[in-house]
Amino acid sequence: MTRSIQSLTRSTLGAIALAAAAGLTGTAQAQTALTLSNWVPPTHWLPQEILVRWSDDVKQATDGRVNVNMLPKAVGSPPQHWELARKGVADVTWGNFTYEPERFKHLWFAELPMMGSNAEAGSVALWRTYQKFLAGHDAFKGVVVLGVAMFGGGQFHHPAKLIDSPDDLQGQKVRMGGPIQKRLLEALGAVPVSAPATKAYEMLEGGAIDASLHPVESVVNFRLDGKLKQHSIVPGGLYDAAFFLVMNERKFKALPAADQAAILKVSGEALSRRWGQAFDAQNKAAEAKMRADGHVFGQPNAALLEKIRGVRGAMLKDLQAEGPSFGVADYGAMVGFYEQQYRALAH
């Protein structure tokens, strides 16, 4: 081999090595790992059907450049998860808006009685309402809202009797989880007992509560169907819950524009729709299982339904009056938009 050929070979090999190193560096720089904090057991259907599937969608949409990794355990309590994302303790979190009720009074309307029992329609309607009326409000700053969801209506569940009339609730200790449920139960003559759904079994076992509020799916998925066998179904739901999936805003903006666009494409209305569909499927399957097991399902009588409608009306009136204080000039218009969207989607 001549000296010139040796020199050319060395320079060629060197160029190849530099190119390979540059390619590896570029790959490392292009890959982003996001952390996701989840506060229910990883075996629960929600992480599996919503969070994991969304994470897979993000990876595919970004051609593997963005990976969302679920942490082995939550980095805080459920009510802290919005703030955990806002502060960047975790990059992505999910939770319930009314875990911080005063901060998110904007969205109380979605959890009121009789707002609808179709979780898919409710979830998409809530996403559209958020986009139209709330996306620019200060309460939502610091994060990128990636999706919202409703669970399709919570109901009365009792071990031994069907809650049929107002008299059936007088003095009954009922487990509940939020300010709307508390006000509703108090107005109906029951005694609200605040506790997470995960505590319901031991509270029923120990006699601390007489009944409990849950969506139908939670009775089965929290293994309460051995205790709660009588189910009073309010048309349109006794109450509901509004959920979010959010990402730290700084982390999102640090991503390349193409990856931001890819994440948004698999989030938003598409994610909200899937989330609602999953709740609908879970509610349907849980009801079928419990009916097959001999559980009793019924509807409250006209007197109790009328009292529930009265509470709903009073709360909407209060929210309309308070709306300007938390940045919603015409709360009634926002509620009307949501209801119009829901009706169109549910039929």
What is the CATH number for 84? 3.40.190.170
Does residue 19 sit within a domain?
Answer: no
The predicted pLDDT at position 293 comes to: 98
Identify the pLDDT of residue 20. Answer: 37
pLDDT at 190 over 60: yes
Does residue 115 fall inside a structural domain?
yes
Average pLDDT over residues 122-135: 98
Instruction: State residue 22's pLDDT score.
Output: 38
Residue 16 has pLDDT above 50, yes or no: no
- Print the domain residue range for 189: 154-239+293-334
pLDDT at residue 13, as a whole number: 36
Q: Is residue 1 part of a domain?
A: no
Per-residue pLDDT at 174 exceeds 90: yes
Q: What is the rounded average pLDDT for all residues in the chain?
A: 92
pLDDT of residue 30: 54
Q: Mean of the pLDDT values across residues 149-165?
A: 97
Considering the domain architecture, whether residues 96 and 186 belong to the same structural domain is answered as: no
Single-letter residue type at 90: A
Tokens linked to 199: 């505590």
User: Which is more confidently placed, 188 or 14?
Assistant: 188
pLDDT beyond 50 at 88? yes
Provide the pLDDT confidence category of residue 41 given band limits of 50, 70 and 90: confident
Task: Give the mean model confidence (pLDDT) for residues 159-168.
Answer: 96
Q: Encode 181-215: b = buried (16+ Cβ within 10 Å), e = exposed.
A: bbbbbeebebebbebebebbbebbeeeebbbbbbb
User: Quick check: 60 pLDDT over 50?
Assistant: yes
Residue 160 has pLDDT above 90, yes or no: yes
- The answer to the question of residue 287 being in a domain is no
pLDDT (mean) for 286-312 = 98
- Residue 196's pLDDT is what? 85
* 207-249 pLDDT tens trace: 999 999 999 999 999 999 999 999 999 999 999 999 999 999 9
pLDDT at 5 over 70: no
The pLDDT value given to residue 43: 86
pLDDT of 162 > 90? The answer is yes
Shared domain for 84 and 68, answered yes or no, is yes
Whether 19 shows a pLDDT value over 60: the answer reads no
Domain match, 100 and 191 both: no
Q: Provide the number of structural domains found in the chain.
A: 2
Per-residue pLDDT for 268 more than 90? yes
Asked if 44 and 91 sit in the same domain, the reply is: yes
Shared domain for 61 and 178, answered yes or no, is: no
Q: Are residues 112 and 69 in the same domain?
A: yes
Please check whether residues 193 and 54 belong to one and the same domain.
no
Query: Does some domain include residue 346?
Result: no
